Amino acid sequence: MEDRSKTSENSSENEVLLNDTAFLGQPKGVGTLSFMQLCNSFSNYGMTAVLIYYLYTAAPAGLGFTKQNAAQLLSLYSGAIALTGIVGSYICDRILGCRKSLFAARSFNVIGFVCLALPLGVGGYAMAMACLAIGPMFGGRCLEALLGKFYDKADGRRDSAYTITYVISNIGAAAPVISGALAAAFGYHSAFASCAVLSAVSLIVYAVTYKPFFGNIGIEPDDPLPDDKKRSFIGKLALVLAAAIVILSVLFISGTLSIPAFANGVSTASIVIPIVYFVFIFVSNKTEKYEKKKVLCLVPAFFCNALTLLIWTQTISILAIFYEEKVNRIILGKEIAAASFQTLPAVLAVIIGSFLTFLWTKLGKKQPYGTTKMGVGTMLWGLGALLIAFLYAAFPGDIKINALWIVLFYAVLMLGEGFTSPVGYSLTAVASPRAFQAQMMTVWGMSMSTGAALNTLIVNFYQEGKEVPFFLGIGGLVCVAGLLMAVFGKKLGNILGLGKVS
């Protein structure tokens, strides 16, 4: 009787929280999650914007890696967090639940940023990357999942809530300007310290509002494992993590394992895993014959999206070096930090995304198939790489280029993203077999890690002074892939059963 009374009380409390409109017409808990997203974006954008410079700057200001190794390490980080996020989604759904997963994931983030903020050398960097990779292993997409739990299916506020977090995330992309200025004035550790402070503040706000704003929403896993299996999984995961850290530390310290070899190994795994996943879904008895055709039609789109992520990863690795060395960064008599250029994509994404949304609505039934859009967008990404090759050829040696060229470069990329990013998940929803809808979304998300992995492998061929053939090759490959996708877009769309919406 007491349990029923408690359940009724909790249900009533949750109902009040769900109907709350205190935060821009949304529940107060959404305000907390939006603030966390803002701090998380500032921290991550701020860190990645200056991290590569910290890696290859000579000691004591930096760690003194070669530029090639620095680019590989950054690509490796991008691939690692995408892979560990897959484990995190499983832990969230089956063991911890959204609330505990979010707290655990962001706690590791704080520790990671603190390790970077302290002058601990290569060891501190290694500890930081380990924590920042382990964080997603406990959370995955838990924040987005928790956000959705504030709304029932008939609540029209849900789309607005996700739009709010999307806009706030792009506001966080202004962080490179701040972290770049801090690094230039006070050193890299001060920039990382600002990331640590923001990350810690978001965790504190979450802890303070944990009960009053969230009640019991998201506190239990959606598909919990039995207690015995739960303990077994946690024990095995802890053992694997501990063994991996010890083995990798010994191999690196002894010189048996080099940065390129390790990066290449992880990158190969990042490419192989989604391929195996695709095959598993395709051959499964649960996948109907007509669904198998749709799965095959998604493969070209997956490949195109991985190529776009390959180019994007270069913007925070190889091209970050380009911004520092080749761009005239004096604006209105003052030199801006190279990291500031990485703020441009967020601004352009909002502008271009809004325009394309209006365009598709205006075109109605006349708009192209999603598969065709994917092809056109991929070609635009390739064009961006070709533009970089042109700039290296047109402005050789120490000749500086006008910063407006970088604005043009990002405008081309963000136009390409406007064609590919929203379409990818839509195509996946159409192509997913009924028995594997969630898994297929996971596979599609892994195109990010595949793209980062491809970049980690490709930077092995990057050499200073030979940038023109490097970017010509990449741009040409991506353009050809996009062209083929566009040419066969209508045929693929027909197999997928796409209709031209009004």
Our CA dihedral for 230, 235, 236, 237, rounded to 10 degrees, sits at 90
* pLDDT per position as a tens digit, 97-116: 888 889 999 999 999 999 99
287 inside domain = yes
Residue 7 has pLDDT above 50, yes or no: no
First-last CA distance in the chain? 54
* pTM exceeding 0.75: no
Distance CA 44, CA 50 (A): 10
The arithmetic mean of pLDDT across residues 227-236, rounded, is: 80
Distance CA 461, CA 273 (A): 24
pLDDT at position 29 is 85
- One domain for residues 431 and 349: yes
What's the mean per-residue pLDDT of the chain?
80
351 inside domain = yes
- One domain for residues 462 and 363: yes
202 inside domain = yes
Distance CA 458, CA 455 (A): 5
pLDDT at position 115 is 94
Which residue bears the tokens 């209508």? Answer: 490
Hey, what amino acid is at 18?
A: L
- One domain for residues 476 and 380: yes
24: three-class secondary structure by DSSP: coil
CATH number at residue 308: 1.20.1250.20
pLDDT at position 364 is 65
* pLDDT per position as a tens digit, 151-209: 765 565 665 666 667 667 767 766 777 888 888 889 899 999 999 999 999 999 999 99
Distance CA 212, CA 78 (A): 35
Distance CA 295, CA 293 (A): 5
Residue 501 has pLDDT above 50, yes or no: no
Structure tokens at 422: 């929203």
In contact, 194 and 46? CB cutoff 8 Å = yes
Burial (CB < 10 A; 0-12, 13-18, 19+), residue 370, is buried
465 inside domain = yes
216 inside domain = yes
282 inside domain = yes
* pLDDT per position as a tens digit, 105-145: 999 999 999 999 998 888 899 899 889 988 888 877 777 77
pLDDT at position 330 is 79
pLDDT at position 481 is 94
Distance CA 206, CA 496 (A): 43
Confidence at 4, pLDDT banded by 50, 70, 90 = very low
230 inside domain = no
Please, which residues have CB within 8 angstroms of residue 404's CB and are 6 or more apart in sequence? Answer: none
In contact, 141 and 91? CB cutoff 8 Å = no
pLDDT at position 170 is 67
The arithmetic mean of pLDDT across residues 369-398, rounded, is: 89
- One domain for residues 78 and 208: yes
Residue 233 has pLDDT above 90, yes or no: no
- Highest mean pLDDT pick, 11-25, 271-285, 420-434: 271-285
Distance CA 334, CA 332 (A): 6
- One domain for residues 450 and 354: yes
* pLDDT per position as a tens digit, 70-79: 877 776 777 6
Confidence at 215, pLDDT banded by 50, 70, 90 = confident
- One domain for residues 192 and 325: no
pLDDT at position 137 is 81
Confidence at 426, pLDDT banded by 50, 70, 90 = low
- One domain for residues 445 and 378: yes
* pLDDT per position as a tens digit, 33-89: 889 988 888 898 888 888 888 998 887 888 888 877 787 777 677 767 766 777 776
- One domain for residues 155 and 287: no
Percent of the chain past pLDDT 90, that is, above it, reads 14
- One domain for residues 171 and 107: yes
Distance CA 40, CA 112 (A): 13
439 inside domain = yes
Residue 487 has pLDDT above 80, yes or no: yes
Q: Strands 401-402 and 334-335: what pairing? A: unpaired
pLDDT at position 383 is 94
What domain range includes position 53? Answer: 20-224
- One domain for residues 281 and 384: yes
Q: Strands 330-331 and 334-335: what pairing? A: antiparallel
pLDDT at position 493 is 84
- One domain for residues 290 and 156: no
Closest CA to 339 of 200, 494, 182: 182
The arithmetic mean of pLDDT across residues 464-481, rounded, is: 88
- One domain for residues 126 and 220: yes
Sequential DSSP letters for 414-456: HHHHHHHHHHHHHHHHHH--GGGHHHHHHHHHTHHHHHHHHHH
How many domains, the chain? 2
Please, which residues have CB within 8 angstroms of residue 384's CB and are 6 or more apart in sequence? Answer: 311, 409, 412, 413, 416, 475
Closest CA to 297 of 445, 431, 436, 425: 431
Percent of the chain past pLDDT 70, that is, above it, reads 83
In contact, 14 and 215? CB cutoff 8 Å = yes
3-state secondary structure 29-40: HHHHHHHHHHHH
101-105, 152-156, 229-233, 465-469: least confident range: 152-156
The last residue of one of the domains, among 192, 208, 224, is: 224
